[in-house]
Each structure stands twice: as structure tokens, then as C-alpha cells.
Structure 1
């Protein structure tokens, strides 16, 4: 389950309630995404909070963009989060899709490439291994609880990105806009083959989609409202055109059926993305997810 970090009018109590409900089960992971030119909470600050608010679930960044951060400072922050959470951190990373986020922090948009991301990952892994990056007395710490650092998931929707990450990532955290299970399975097959060719263990396969649970026309309208707000860098008429087929909206049985279809193609996790901060919807989805516990 993803925290509703892209919803308006958030406060600490809402986020804490969500985190604790998710931690109570049956969800396997608690996720949250990163944007800069938006009013969502800072991802690394939130990592410290959810480490304290939870005890059981994996904590998954979906995704952090390394090019928006100094890699050594990012490695230190993530190692701290891994320490505070007792080794429950998984780091989903991606190149990001918005130039305005790069501009907001003064990052070079020409680094928005898989090569630029891989170079920063290599530095982060050196930090997590305890290697000195400079001629300092001590290396940058703290050491992560997980040997070698947190697991890394590449955020992607395309085969080229998947193949290029096979040598350093532990899996993929994809996104499906239209819930095309066959197309998602094709991407999973690319990952399976790429990891095998690289001599790596079987990749962790995750995907995500927006959701709204309820009856009648309101769930689809909720998704539409969310997309209008979140996709504010895209012309509104484009968002309106894609809204009827983007994400999922429906009732409990429909959601269970969709999740079963993803289970059938070997999906290890589905990271559900809320389009409301309503805890009623969260608890309703939790009842559906119990079928997979």
C-alpha cells in the first residue's frame, strides 16, 4: 500500500494513521513516492517517521530519483533509514519524468538517463560497503543493517530500462496505467531474461496502479480528480482523455479479480496507489488483501 502523499491537506496524524493501519496487515510493504515541485512530504524525512510508526512492513520508496540528490548524502540518509527501521528498507529508484523537479533543486536535466542513475547507484553502494569516498578519517556512515545496503528496485515502464538495470538492481517496481496484464507479463519476461543473462538471482517483480474502491460512478470520478491534480505538468485535456482508462475503480470483488490476474503472471507485489486519503478506503482494501496473506 502506498501512502497518500500526493493528496491535498495532509497532516501528521493522517500519515501516521495510514502507516499504522498498513503495518497491522495484511499488506507486505508501505510505499511512498517523490516529487520536488509539488506539496508532498519530503521522502527522506518521511522515511524517518514511518520507521518509527511501523514495526513489520517493508518500507519502499517508489521512487526516489538519485539525480535530484547528492549521492553520498542520499546514501547516508537511506542507510540511516535502514538502521532506524531495523533493516526493512527497499529503495525504488528511477530517473524521474519531470524537468521541473530537476529545475527545483538545481539538478542537471541532462543526467536524466539510466547511465546517470547507475553512476550514482555505484557511489551509494560504495558508501554502504564502508568504502571511503574521500581521504577522510572515517568512512561515511552509519552502516546499513542490510549487508551491502538496502535492496534496489528499478522504477520502469519500458524494456530498455529493465535490461540496463539487471547488473545492479534486485528487481523492478513498474507502473501499469491501463492494467494490461499481458503487457505487464511481457515486461516481466524481459526482466527474468535480463537477470538470468547477468547471472543474477531471480528478480523481485512488482507493479503498481492507482485505485479507488466504492460503488457507482464515484470511484472513477475520484481517480479522475486525482490525476488532474497529480499530473499537473500535462495539459488538462490530455489527462481528461486518459482518465477513463487509467488506474482501477470498482468494488471489492472486482479488485480481488484484478489482483488474482496479476498473481497469475508471477507478480511478487502490487503496490496500490490511493487517490484519496480516506482511511475507510484503506481498510476496505485491507479486507480484500487478506485473501493473499
Structure 2
């Protein structure tokens, strides 16, 4: 199973030095993938800019922005951004797309929240058309650049429910479905749905399965992880935010190892860990933990 690490895009102390240091250390470490989330409201950094900065200072690690909330974006402009990112990265980009779950983000950008699932399907088709170099309409010309990986640049669906996974089976290379407490059951449920959806769609390949969870190894890791989960989920209401925060246990080396093993046991091809802070302990201690695992 491959291991990825998400950039701490919600941390308020994530300045230039930390942004570039995190990217370089991920590239130097035992990680296969570097990821980053996308949010608009609340205090967060812009995902695509962070990924572009990382692409420029890394050579090896694969970049998987996870995820573009595509229905609140322009599909054509996003396709152009991703293709350009793939050029900067030298063909190391995968991309995850989804509908998100934050109406306030849509509102902040003036995008409709309705029909977002249907919109996502249509937008993915448009992005692939752009990457293949096909005109969108008479006179549109060639909307470049071409991704070094071509028109079939790997694209994953951020989907967890049966309907969303069934739709994704028509166009995605796989599913990104983290279960943030790091349990096996949450991952297993979604991955079983994905395998079934791929078969029912008549596909001969199998879905690439990506899991993940929240963790912290910073000083005062338990509190940091609790606060991170609470702040992340606060948009959904106080009860859910407190409940999710209370369920966070991946703040010791043994608990993190257990969570990684849970994801692997569920059949995942990859596990992306999401740090609660931008403290360097989050990556440096994790590297030491991973050195003791045989993945």
C-alpha cells in the first residue's frame, strides 16, 4: 500500500518557509503522494497555488489535489490549471474531484448548490475533452496545454455514498474515500461499494482505492487533533463537530500504525494521512514511524 501526506492547508502559521519545507520533506521522505484539500470559507490556503509551489520544488512525489470541488468551479479553467500543473510537475499529477459538502463555499463563489452531482459528471467529460485537445465549440481552438500524461490523466472521485460511487464508475480511475477516525469499517464499506459499482458498470479494470485519516504528532497532539476535527466539522453544527472531535484518537505512534493497518486491511491501494498542524513534528515523527512499517 502506498502512503501519501496532505499539506497542512488549514494551519494559520503556514508561511512561505513552511510551505516549501513541507513540500521538499515530503519529496525526500518515504511518501508516494502529496495531497491538499480545497475549502473557500474559513481560514484556509488556496489548494491549486500550494500544489503549483510544491510541483516547482519537488522531483519525485506524485501530486494529487484532493479534492477539487468541481461544481463550484469552471470546468474549462480547472482543466487548463490541472494541465499546466502537470507540465510544471513533469507528468506527476493525479486529480481528485467531488461535489464537496459545504453550501457556504458555493455561496461565497456565487455557484449554485443544486444539481451538483449531474454538473460534476458533465464537467469531468468537458475536462477530458480539453485534455485530449478537442475543440469545445466552433472557433474555440485548441485549449492547451496538453498534460504530459495525455487525455487520460488519472482522475479519482471523492465519493462515499452508493449513488455517487455508481456515477463515478462511469468515468473515474478510482475512489478517494477517507474515514477520518482511521477505522477499518468505514473504509471497507465504501471500497466494497466501489468494487461492486465497477463490476456493475461492466468495467474490466478495478477501482484504485484511496483511504485516509486525520492525525497529529505535534506537541500537545491530542488537543491539536481534537481542535482540528472540531474546526473542520463546525459548519455541520456543534453536535456533529463535538462528536467527530471526540472520536479522534490518532495522536500517538501506536494509534497511527493501527490506523494505517486498518486502511491496508480494507483493501486500499493508498492511504493519505492528513496532519492537524503545520508543526514539523507532524512529518518528521511520521517518517520515523513509517520506517518501522513494511508497506
The answer to whether residue 235 in structure 2 is matched with residue 228 in structure 1 is no
How far apart in 2 are the matches of 1:47 and 1:209?
Answer: 20
Are the aligned partners of 2:182 and 2:260 in contact in 1 as well (CA < 8 Å)?
Answer: no
Q: Which runs of 5+ in 1 are unaligned?
A: none
Aligned structure 1 segments of 4 or more residues deviating by more than 4 angstroms: none
How far apart in 2 are the matches of 1:139 and 1:38?
Answer: 37
Given the alignment, which residue of 15, 30, 46 partners 1:42?
46
How far apart in 1 are the matches of 2:213 and 2:145?
Answer: 34
The answer to whether residue 134 in structure 2 is matched with residue 131 in structure 1 is yes
Q: Report the number of matched residues.
A: 289
Kindly state the Cα deviation for residue 273 of structure 1 after the two structures are TM-superposed. 0.7
The answer to whether residue 70 in structure 2 is matched with residue 66 in structure 1 is yes
Equivalent residue runs for 1:22-33 within 5 Å: 22-33=26-37
Given the alignment, which residue of 46, 52, 60 partners 2:56?
52
Equivalent residue runs for 1:159-198 within 5 Å: 159-198=162-201
- Which stretch shows the higher mean deviation, 190-199 or 65-74? 190-199
Are the aligned partners of 1:96 and 1:112 in contact in 2 as well (CA < 8 Å)?
Answer: no
In the other structure, the counterpart of 2:116 is 112
Q: Which runs of 5+ in 2 are unaligned?
A: none
Are the aligned partners of 2:229 and 2:244 in contact in 1 as well (CA < 8 Å)?
Answer: no
In the other structure, the counterpart of 2:23 is 19
Secondary structure of 2:39's counterpart equals coil
How far apart in 2 are the matches of 1:7 and 1:137?
Answer: 40
Are the aligned partners of 2:218 and 2:224 in contact in 1 as well (CA < 8 Å)?
Answer: no
Given the alignment, which residue of 236, 241, 266 partners 1:239?
241
In the other structure, the counterpart of 2:261 is 260
In the other structure, the counterpart of 2:8 is 4
Aligned pair in 2 of structure 1 residues 262, 232: CA closer, same or farther (>3 Å)?
A: closer
Secondary structure of 2:205's counterpart equals coil
How far apart in 1 are the matches of 2:17 and 2:218?
Answer: 24
- What is the CA deviation profile of residues 224-264 of structure 1, one whole-angstrom value per residue up to 9, with x for unaligned ones? 11123323423334322331113x42322332232123212
How far apart in 2 are the matches of 1:194 and 1:228?
Answer: 33
Kindly state the Cα deviation for residue 47 of structure 1 after the two structures are TM-superposed. 2.4
Secondary structure of 2:191's counterpart equals helix
- Which stretch shows the higher mean deviation, 282-291 or 225-234? 225-234
- Which stretch shows the higher mean deviation, 172-181 or 229-238? 229-238
CA RMSD of aligned residues (A): 1.8
- Which stretch shows the higher mean deviation, 249-258 or 65-74? 249-258
Secondary structure of 1:221's counterpart equals helix
Are the aligned partners of 2:250 and 2:259 in contact in 1 as well (CA < 8 Å)?
Answer: no
Kindly state the Cα deviation for residue 137 of structure 1 after the two structures are TM-superposed. 6.4
Q: TM-score by structure 1 length?
A: 0.92
- Which stretch shows the higher mean deviation, 223-232 or 152-161? 223-232
Are the aligned partners of 1:176 and 1:207 in contact in 2 as well (CA < 8 Å)?
Answer: yes
Secondary structure of 1:118's counterpart equals helix
Q: TM-score by structure 2 length?
A: 0.92
Aligned pair in 2 of structure 1 residues 227, 89: CA closer, same or farther (>3 Å)?
A: same
